[in-house]
Amino acid sequence: MSATSELQATIEALARQGAGILAADESGPTIAKRFKAIGVESTEENRRAYRSAMLSTPGLGQYICGVILYEETLGQRADDGEPLPQLAARQGIVPGIKVDTGKIPLALAPGDEITQGLDGLAQRLDGYKQLGARFAKWRAVYNIAPTLPGRAAVEANAESLARYAAICQAQGVVPIVEPEVLLDGDHTIARCAEVTQAVLHEVFHALHRHGVVLEHMLLKPSMVVPGKANALQAGPEEVAAQTLRVLRRTVPAAVPSINFLSGGQSPEEATANLQAMNQMGPQPWLLSFSYGRALQDPAQKAWQGKSDHARDCQNALLKRARLNGAASVGKYSEAMERGD
């Protein structure tokens, strides 16, 4: 199969109406923090057991079309010995992989950050494909302050995202482009909209420069929301209106699907905001989700690191997946009324 055919087949599997992507690509320090909150030690076996329980959730593939895995998980196996990427694929869930190697301070730009991981990426992708990965994810982060992000950070992160996406497509791997404007701070929703618009404009300018085929990528942006320390928070209708206004100004219609990150929102907030966007009429792209905490928090609290709680973990995950699947087609309210 040619790289183009591979990319098209993966996009068709990922851009599926009523389904979204599970972000289960937490790094070692991040998963340790999540486990600490529920009183569980972050050992390799505990991480394997938890992710195995998630991916073996009966019926999960109805609402989850893809899963972003951490490199460790790509090589792990379920209790019966089945490789976890194969387990996901058997559920109808496309396995993907986080390929950036994390963020560091941007030199001579206090407060700004840059993401690393381009060196050797093509070779790593070859190995990841052999383990079952069909798409990849790269996250860039942007801090908001009166003078942040600086122009250098906006341009440098856009360039890295575009280079990553071009390398992925050359290898037959669909890139998820994730520019995350962080929720931290006391900024207004208008300031978030201003920064998000500047970031997305620069990202798509860079993607064009590098020849990235927009039909064979997904965008994973943050929603336009006030900083979490701002006293004036926004309801779902305002978040939806501000977010869609920015997206219509910056994201070409050729992009097949926009899968929002939750970015520290509560599970209920993230779902309600997605629902509001999908109730504002047809858009050029599918509007879906690629949530981590907003899908996993209830599941982790139900699991508690205990094997006999695996079914409770699965039920909690399936409920959030089902509700977000409903929100992605504008039917969250109906699902809640039914008691889903």
User: How far is CA 217 from its chain centroid?
Assistant: 13
- 8 A C-beta contact, residue 22 and residue 291: yes
Choice among 98, 113, 202, 220 that is catalytic: 220
Catalytic residue selected from 26, 113, 159, 178: 178
* Cβ-based burial of 119 (10 A; exposed 0-12, middle 13-18, buried ≥19): exposed
Strands 286-291 and 20-24: parallel
Distance in angstroms (rounded) separating the CA atoms of residues 165 and 169: 6
User: How does DSSP classify residue 251?
Assistant: S
List, in order, residues 6 or more apart from 327 with CB less than 8 Å away. Answer: 271, 272, 274, 275, 278, 289
Q: Is 58 exposed, middle or buried (0-12, 13-18, 19+ CB in 10 A)?
A: exposed
Quick one: angle between helices 151-170 and 121-130, nearest 10?
A: 50
Which two structure tokens, joined as six digits, stand for 140? Answer: 């860039």
Q: What 3-state class would DSSP assign to 339?
A: coil
Residue 319 falls in the annotated catalytic set: no
Amino acid at 325: G
Q: Is 281 left (phi over 0), alpha (psi -120 to 50) or beta?
A: left
Q: Among this protein's residues, is 44 annotated catalytic?
A: no
Contact predicate 258/218, CB 8 Å:
yes
Active site members: 178, 220
